[in-house]
Chains A and B, each alone.
Chain A
C-alpha cells in the first residue's frame, strides 16, 4: 500500500487560538506558537472503522432516536457531499460523526438550558462512513439558531458539527457546517474567528435541488476537504520518524 506524507497545514485558513470576540478562547488558547514537525509514522496512521459497525439508522437523525412509527420534528433535510483531500483524492471508508441542536435550537445535553423544548424523538447525533468515492450522506432536520452566553446578544447560526477522520491522524478535523443565506453567519464570533472569507464560504452548505426529493425532503450539499498527501513515498523518510 502506498503511504503518503501529509502536507503541512496552512494555519492561515483556520481560526487563530485566541479569538478576541469569542470569549471562551481567552483562557483556553495556548500562548506559545505550535511547534512544527513533519508527520511521523504515528501521525500518518489513523484508526479505521468498518461499515459493519453502523446500525441501520445511524445516519438518519430523523429516525435514530425516535420511537417506533414516530420521527423528529422539523424541516426534513438531506446533508450530503464528498470527503476529499487537498489533492482531490476521495477519502474513502472514513468515519464522519455529526451532532446538532433540534429544530428549536436546543441540544439534548444537561448543560443546555435554553427555553426551546426538547423533542422526545430527536437525539441529535448521527454517523456514517464514506463510500469508495468519498461520498457521504445524512438525513436530519434543520437545526434552529440559538443564543449563547458570550457577553452580548450572540446567536449561533443554524449549524451542524462534523467530526472527520482521515488516513492519517494529522488529518483529524472537527468543524461546523452552516446554511446558505443565514444572516447570522456574518454576525457570529465563532464563524468570524476564521480569518479568510473564502474559507468561511466553504463551510456554507448549498441548497441542492437535484438531490431534493419532491414532496419529501430538501437536500443541502457540503463538501469537506482534509489535508493533502504528497506522493513522496514513506520509505524515503528518515527511518522511524
Chain B
C-alpha cells in the first residue's frame, strides 16, 4: 500500500478566471475562444431545459463578483451518461452583479436520491472548494439521505422557482449560512 497523502488545497485566488475561463477573462482566442463548461447542452436532448441562476454572498451581505462555480448533475434520466448533455458546467460570477447562470436540464432522481445538483465554489478567500447541493422546490426531497442529513438547515439548499427558472442564493456565513459538505 501507498502512504501518499492528498495534496493540500490552496485558494483559487482572484485570478481563477485566467486559468479556468480564459475567454471570460479576456485572453483573446485562448483554447479556440471556447471556455470549458460554458455549454452543458450540446445535442438533441430529452427533458426539461432550465435556467439556473444564483449568487454567492459573504458575511457582510456582499455578493461575490470573483467566484467560479462548477456544477455536476445527473441527466433527466438520472444517469451521468446521457447523450447530448455534459452533466458538468462551469461559470464565473458576473463581475458586476455577481450572478452566475447555467443553461442546463432538470436532473432526474439518482437511485433513492431526489433530483439534485452538486455545486462546487472556489474564490479568493475560500481555502478549500466549498461543496453544497441544490434541490428543487417542486420535488419530494423528504427521503433523500443527504437532504435529511442537513436537518433543519436543509432548506438552504432548495432553489426558488422564478419566472426564468430556478435560483439559489448561497450564503457563506450568517443566520442563513448554506449547508456545506465534506464528501
Which A residues lie within 8 Å of B105 (CB)?
A: none
> What sequence of 0s and 1s flags, for each residue 21-47 of chain A, a beta carbon within 8 Å of any chain B beta carbon?
011111111111011111111110111
Q: Which residues B1-58 have CB closer than 8 A to chain A?
A: 1-2, 4-20, 22, 25-27, 30-32, 36-37, 58
Asked if residues B30 and A86 are in contact (CB atoms below 8 Å), the reply is no
Per the bound structure, the CA–CA distance linking A25 and B37 in Å amounts to 27
Is residue A99 within 8 Å, beta carbon to beta carbon, of the partner chain? yes
Q: Given A25-B125, A43-B183, A47-B86, A175 and B18 touching (CB < 8 A)?
A: no
Q: Given A55-B32, A124-B18, A225 and B72 touching (CB < 8 A)?
A: no
By size class, the interface of chain B is: 35 or more
Is residue B122 within 8 Å, beta carbon to beta carbon, of the partner chain? yes
Is residue B166 within 8 Å, beta carbon to beta carbon, of the partner chain? no
Is residue B116 within 8 Å, beta carbon to beta carbon, of the partner chain? yes
What residue in chain B is nearest A99 (Cβ atoms)?
B19
Asked if residues A169 and B72 are in contact (CB atoms below 8 Å), the reply is yes
Chain A: residues with Cβ within 8 Å of the partner, total of 86
Which B residues lie within 8 Å of A203 (CB)?
A: 7-8, 10
Is residue B161 within 8 Å, beta carbon to beta carbon, of the partner chain? no
Interface set of A (CB-CB < 8 Å, partner B): 8-11, 13-17, 19, 22-32, 34-43, 45-47, 49, 55, 58, 64-65, 84-88, 95, 97-99, 107-112, 123-125, 127, 161, 163, 169-170, 172-176, 190-191, 193-194, 196, 198-200, 202-203, 224-228, 238-241
15 interchain pairs, CB-CB under 8 A: A19-B127, A27-B125, A28-B124, A30-B178, A35-B149, A35-B182, A47-B87, A95-B36, A99-B16, A172-B120, A174-B11, A175-B10, A203-B7, A238-B112, A241-B112
